[in-house]
Amino acid sequence: MTPGLDGQTTSVPIHGFFARQFAVDTTKAQDFFDGLFGVFLPVLCFLADPLVFRENGGSLGIYSKYQLLAYTFSAIQIATLLTWRTFSRRLTWMAAPIGGVFLAGSLFSTVIGVFILPFSLIGMFMLIGFAGFIPFVTAFVYLRTGIRALKAHHTTRFVNSPITLTIPAAILAIALPLIISNNVSSLVSISVTEVLYGDKQTAEVAVSRLKRMPFLSEREMRRMVVAYHNELDPEKREALSQHYKEVTGRAIEFRSRTMD
């Protein structure tokens, strides 16, 4: 309470730390924080991933099976975050579903953080483990942005409650990466199997299909490397080497040596 000009006391709203974090108006510091932990560091972690999704030293990542799912989900979240940060004033009519996408992203980032937590704790002794806590901070960024988007929602005569659009958007944000990753992974797996065990014509068709794929998981391509590594027939080894070169643009011989 503070005295007013007329001698009467007036109340002055005081916003605490947590209240400011979820206020509709953002600060420059918050914008920088969200860009750092919502875009830059997640991408950097994927690129420098030492053991979670990517192959390292000839060994598959711990959760390499979910590599495409994690990449697809994160790409959608990052693209949505950048779009909202740039055009939020023009997208108030889409604020509710966008908020749902962010809430799904917050949940997904938390799940990643929990799954890699044991390895993050172990890695803390080598300092690199601290990077494993970034998903928790990223989850906070998406949660905060999602709540702000919901607050920016404009009620219309068609949509009274933002939840009407938020929940379906959140479900779609989770289902879409699952569907994409499952379909792409299945097609890549079938194609690699045809390269390894099909006749010459079947293998060539499969190679052509793999070259057009938007993503090739390291787990599936490793099957070709293992087959080459264990193959004793020089002719089959040469064929596998050519196929692998066509698909990836890299030499299979080098990958095979790293397995030793």
pLDDT of residue 77: 97
Give 28: exposed, middle or buried? Use CB within 10 Å, 0-12, 13-18, 19+: exposed
Q: For residue 95, what are the contacts with CB-CB under 8 A and spacing of at least 6?
A: 88, 149, 150, 152, 153, 154, 162
pLDDT at 196 over 60: yes
Residues 114, 132: Cα–Cα separation, whole Å: 9
Mean per-residue pLDDT over the chain, rounded: 86
Extract long-range pairs of 79-88: CB within 8 Å, 24+ residues apart.
Answer: 80/105, 81/34, 81/38, 81/39, 81/141, 81/142, 81/145, 82/39, 84/145, 84/149, 85/31, 85/34, 85/35, 88/149, 88/152
Does residue 245 have a pLDDT over 50? Answer: yes
Give the 3-state secondary structure percentages of the chain, helix then strand then coil, rounded to 5: 75, 0, 25
Residue 253 has pLDDT above 70, yes or no: yes
**Residues 214-240, mean pLDDT to the nearest whole number:** 90
- Lowest model confidence (mean pLDDT) among 24-33, 76-85, 200-209: 24-33
Indicate the SS3 state at residue 3: strand
Predicted local distance difference test score (pLDDT) of residue 155: 55
Cβ proximity of 170 and 101 under 8 Å: yes
Q: Which residues, 6 or more positions from 193, have their beta carbon under 8 angstroms from its beta carbon? A: none
Angle at 136 between CA 72 and CA 94, to 5 degrees: 55
Q: What is the pLDDT of residue 59?
A: 74
Q: What is the pLDDT of residue 85?
A: 92
Residue 17 pLDDT: 67
Q: Name the pTM for this structure.
A: 0.81
- 153-160 average pLDDT score: 58
